[in-house]
Amino acid sequence: MNKTTVFCQISDSHFSKGSTSEIRLKNVIDDINKKDVHHVIFSGDLVLEPTTQNYAELYHFLDTHLNNDINVYSIPGNHDDVELLKQTAPHSRFSSPEYIDITEHTRIHLIDSSKRFEGTVLGSGYVPQSALSQLRKRIKHTHKLNSVFAIHHPPVTFGADWFQKICLTNGDNFIKTVQTNKQNSHIIFGHSHVYFQIKKDDIEYISCPSSWVGFNHQNHTKTEKTDDFGYLVYFENEHNEIEHEVIML
């Protein structure tokens, strides 16, 4: 079956110059450069600490190592600073738009879940009602075969007990908004540091592994890191439907 590579997803790089996160992100970038792809989605937690220096060093790193014809689109995670993420972007190659028409068949909506709701667990995410209302309006005027909703926090709970407490606080409302879309819907996210995929009620949910370290979700009491790291590649098949492949390095 013929497939066309549409975009790659990198998540939870937690970039810090001179660290393991830089070395492993370089491995991911080198692998992406071998593919015929022109778009990369970063789904949150780009840097270890949200400082101007860390973002500047990450952008310089990507400019140096990522093929020049690849555009980077970022959404913030709970470890990111939204304004710094946008302000430090050196040029239009790096951007954080509300949506991207990747092909004539596929639109990607970029959703900010970086702010947690007051009184909820540190690390959890939230999409304000105003943002959900704007998303509904955009969905109403979308006439694409595929709608991909990229967000940092998973709107469905899965994995270790401790992790389920730091997912998207208003996940149900977010899913109801996505369900107003009458086309093929995919919700892609990070935060879990592990690959996960499930299809439910005509929505495909896909979690991207971290480009830095994995989380052992068999340990239900605390965060335990593993050496697993990788990224995701998304395709349009001959029927213009979205498929994906997980790449572990």
Beta-sheet strand order (sheet of 146-150): 99-101, 106-110, 146-150, 184-189, 203-207, 196-200
Residues 6+ apart with CB under 8 A from 182: none
In the chain, where the domains are located: 3-248
β partners of residue 196: 207
pLDDT at 240: 93
What DSSP string runs through 104-120? SSEEEEE---BSPPTTS
Instruction: Give the per-residue pLDDT at 154.
Output: 98
Tokens 């990507």: give the residue.
62
Its pTM stands at 0.97
Give the tokens for residue 125.
């995410």
Q: Which residues of the chain have a pLDDT value below 70?
A: 1
Four-CA torsion 238, 3, 183, 105, nearest 10 degrees: -90
Q: Which one-letter DSSP state was computed for residue 161? A: H
Q: Which residues contact 68 (CB under 8 A, 6 or more apart)?
A: none
Please measure the distance between the N-terminal and C-terminal CA atoms of the chain and give it in whole angstroms. Answer: 25
Q: Say if domain 3-248 classifies as CATH 3.30.950.10.
A: no
The pLDDT, as a whole number, for residue 1 is 61
Q: How far apart are CA 232 and CA 150, in angstroms?
A: 13
What residues does 110 pair with on adjacent strands? 150
* Whole-Å CA distances, 24 to 19, 76, 100, 192, 226: 9, 20, 27, 17, 13
Q: What are phi and psi of 65, to 5 degrees?
A: -105, -25
